[in-house]
Amino acid sequence: MTPRSATPAATTLPARRTRYLTRVAAFACAAVLTLCAPLADAWGPEGHAIVADIAQQHLDPAAAAQVRTLLGVEGLQRLDQISSWADGNRKERPHTGSWHYVDIPLHANSYVPARDCARNNCVIAQISHFAQVLADRSAAPAARLEALKWVVHFVGDVHQPLHAEDDDDKGGNTVQVQFFGRGSNLHAVWDGGVLRHALGLVPGPNYSFDHAAVQAAAMRLDEAISPADRTAWSAIGGLPALYHQTVSWAGESHTLARDVAYAHLDGRNQAGWSQRYQDLAWPVTRTRLQQGGVRLAAVLNELLGG
Ligand code: ADE
Ligand code: ZN
Ligand code: ZN
C-alpha cells in the first residue's frame, strides 16, 4: 500500500505553511525549467554549417560563380557564413518562427497542406517560395542573397527529423530528457546534442562554434558518401519538382521521428539510456546531414546553374 500523508486537519499551521511554500517553489522551478530550457528551432549552428560545407563542395562552376557574387554583396565568401542567419534574426521577425518546420502529426500517414501548412507558414512552402526568388535573375541582388540565406537554412531544417512532426509537444521541445548527465529536451538532442557528442564539438556563446573543427567534420562526412547515394540524392528536377522533393524529404524526416526518435524513449531517465540512444540517433543524424548537403548543392545547381 502507498503510504498516505497526514490529513490537513492533523497538521500544525507552520507545517501546512511549509508544505504550501514547498509546492509553490516546486511549481515555480518547474515553470522556470520549462520556460528556460532552450527552445530549439533548428539544427544547431554546427549542423547547418555542415550541410552548407558539404553543399559548397559540390556546386557546379556556374552556380558557384553566382553564389560567390551574391555572397559578395555582403562581403562574404562561404555558404556556412549564412547558414544560421535565419535563426539569428528570429526576434526581429517573429512571424517567421513556423517557417522552420512542418508540424505533420506524429501518427499521421502523410503531409496534408491544409492541415500542416496553413497560409504557407511551414518549411515546405517557404523553400519553394524562396527558391523562386533566388532563381529570378531580375530580382535585386540583396533580395536574392536573402533568399539564398533562407534556402540554405531551410533545406537543412527539413532534414532534421523533429522539424517535420508534432506530437502536441512542439516538435519534442517540451519532452524533457537527461542527455549525458545534462537536462535537455528531445528536440535539442536532435538539433545538436547527438551530433555534438559524436563529433566532440563544444558550442560557444551566441551561435558561435569552432569553424575549423566543423569544416573538418563536414569533409569527413562528405567523403563517406557513396557514389550511388550521391547520385540518387542529387536528382532534383526543376522548380515545380522541387516542391514534391521537399514534401518527400519532410516525409522521410517524419518517418525517422516516429520510428527512431520517439520509438526509443523508454527508460530515458535511467543510466545507460543516453549512450543507447546516441548509438541509434547518430547514424540517422549523420545520413540526414549528408543528404541535406548533397540535396542543397543539387537545389543550388538547379536554380543557379548555367
Ligand atoms: N515548434 C512547434 N513545432 C515545432 C517543430 N516541429 N520543430 C521546431 N519547433 C517547433
Ligand atoms: Zn531553422
Ligand atoms: Zn530545431
Name the one residue in this structure whose C-alpha cell is 512542439. 170
Q: Tell how far the Cα of 242 is from the centroid of ligand 1, in angstroms.
A: 22
How far is residue 221's CA from residue 30's CA, in Å, rounded to a whole number?
Answer: 39
Which of 87, 96, 103 has most ligand 1 atoms within 8 Å of CB, for mutation? Answer: 103
How far is residue 236's CA from residue 107's CA, in Å, rounded to a whole number?
Answer: 28
What is the phi/psi pair of residue 177, to 5°? -140, 155
> What pTM was computed for the model?
0.87
Q: Tell how far the Cα of 22 is from the centroid of ligand 3, in angstroms.
A: 34
Report DSSP state, residue 100: G
Ligand 1 atom 6: residue of nearest CA: 171
Q: Tell how far the Cα of 103 is from the centroid of ligand 1, in angstroms.
A: 7
- Each residue's pLDDT tens digit in the chain (306 positions)? 222 222 233 333 344 444 444 444 444 434 434 333 444 456 889 999 999 999 999 999 999 999 999 999 999 999 999 999 999 877 889 999 999 999 999 999 999 999 999 999 999 999 999 999 999 999 999 999 999 999 999 999 999 999 999 999 999 999 999 999 999 999 999 999 999 999 999 888 877 889 899 999 999 999 999 999 999 999 988 888 999 999 999 999 999 999 999 999 999 988 899 999 999 999 999 999 999 999 999 999 999 987
Q: Would you state the cell numbers that stand for residue 301, as one nine-digit string?
A: 545547381
Domains and CATH numbers, the chain: 15-25+45-304 (1.10.575.10)
Ligand 1 atom 9: residue of nearest CA: 41
